[in-house]
Amino acid sequence: MAERRSATIKDVAAAAGVGIATVSRVFSGTGAVADATRERVLAAARELDYRPSALGRGLKLRRSGGIGLIVPDVTDPFCAELVAGVLACARTLGGHVIVDAAHGDAEREAEIVDRFVEQRVDGIIACPAGETADWRAAARVCSSVVFADRVLPGLAEIPTVLADDAGGVRSLAEYLVGLGHRRIAFLGAAAPGGEPGVRERAFRDTLARLGVPAEEDLVVAARPARDAAYAAAAGLLQRRADVTAVVAAEHLLGEAAVLVARELDLRVPADVSIAMVDDVPWAELCDPPLTAVARPGRDIGYRACELLLREPARRGRGGPVRLPTELVVRGSCGALRSGRR
């Protein structure tokens, strides 16, 4: 059979009795083609089961029509939302998405960027792990780059879409102080993830502004891993049995806080109030349901993709795009009754 290799534009042209230029025009939608001719071409194409090759087109156009997406971990609920947002936007704009996970490893991230550049992606969206990758070169050479959810100190010129983490933590702190809490602990992330220290800084600032004395002892940092988070939470709650509320800077830390509280037989919120950043699905399933700050992962992804593909002009002007967070109050934080504990 001639079906061995798939049909090319040449086969279609021959079958339809036209030139390949005409077939190309029919499929790429450019230029004028007489209706009768178009029909003939389409019929021939259908007959031969012709699929235009993105490789051929890509070579000629010097771009693949796809975008590269780098997240720390696709199984993280927030990242997954972000990916979903990118997919949704790419879909409406007709591009495909190559996804890879860097797992916080800047080295690995650099490799992924290299690969994307080789693939001649139209652009890269990344939650950057570090500055190992040559972001500037990537942005210059063959594609543009948009950062999502994280900034890199030295790369302010790269357009960025963020959640308003500071605002989220602020609302959390205000909420807890409003409930009467004074000894509020902060479980923060040690790694240079997020705007470096932005959540911790927002926490300290808010407390200071509200006249709550800061205790260095109540702010602890943990590597973003389950065991480290658990250790940090356990250490904190055992060392300072007098804390009445805990703010977790991300869901792993929130999880750790919940588990540790359970382990220590602390009732939530009677003995200790717990709240966290990132409104992951289990926050609602928890008992009591966990108060959390919802960060718009999907919107961040969508917006980043839009920025990349649709608005190359407006990119990066006026600093990072900052999307609002929302405090979702559930049952894990209670008013402080005096004399407890």
What residue ranges bind DNA (CB under 7 A)?
5-6, 8-10, 17-25, 27-28, 30-34, 36-38, 50-53, 55-57, 59-62
With CB under 8 A as the contact rule, the residue among 54, 208, 241, 335 that binds a copy of itself is 54
Q: Is 101 in the site for a copy of itself (CB under 8 A)?
A: yes
How many other C-beta atoms can be found within 10 angstroms of the C-beta atom of residue 80? 17
Note whether 198 and 150 are within 8 A (CB): no
Which residue is listed with tokens 């991300």?
250
- From 109-117, 172-180, 195-203, 333-341, span contacting a copy of itself (CB under 8 A): 109-117
- Tokens linked to 10: 């040449």
**Nearest partner of 142 among 65, 89, 85, judged by Cα:** 65
DSSP secondary structure letters along 182-205: -SEEEEEE-SS-SSTTHHHHHHHH
- Alpha carbon 314 to its chain centroid, in Å, reads 21
The CA distance from 162 to 198, in Å, is: 12
If the CB atoms of residues 202 and 268 are measured against a copy of itself, the closer one turns out to be: 268
Assess contact for 73 and 101: CB atoms under 8 A.
yes
Say which entry of DNA, a copy of itself, none residue 77 contacts (CB below 5 to 8 A, set by partner kind).
a copy of itself
Q: Alpha helices, DSSP H only, in 119-250? A: 135-141, 165-178, 198-209, 226-239
SS3 273: strand
Q: For the CB of residue 272, give the shortest distance to a copy of itself in the complex, in Å.
A: 15
Rank residues 62 and 317 by Cβ distance to DNA and give the closer one. Answer: 62
Asked whether position 49 contacts a copy of itself by CB under 8 A, the answer is yes
> Which x/- pattern over 142-161 shows residues binding a copy of itself (rule: CB under 8 A)?
x-------------------
The residue among 127 and 219 lying less far from a copy of itself, judged by its C-beta, is 127
Residue 309 binding: pick among a copy of itself, DNA, none (C-beta 5-8 Å cut-off by kind): none
By the 8 A CB rule, do 224 and 194 touch?
no
Pick from 281, 313, 338, 339 the residue near a copy of itself by CB under 8 A.
281
How far does the chain reach from its first CA to its final CA, in angstroms? 83
* 243-262: contacts with a copy of itself (CB under 8 A): 255, 258-259, 262
91 lies in the binding site for a copy of itself (CB under 8 A): yes
CA distance 91 to 327: 30
Site size toward a copy of itself (CB under 8 A) is 49
| Chain contacts with a copy of itself (rule: CB under 8 A) | 5-6, 49, 51-56, 58-59, 62, 64, 66, 73-75, 77, 80-81, 83-84, 87, 91, 96-101, 114-115, 117-120, 137, 141-142, 255, 258-259, 262, 280-282, 285-287
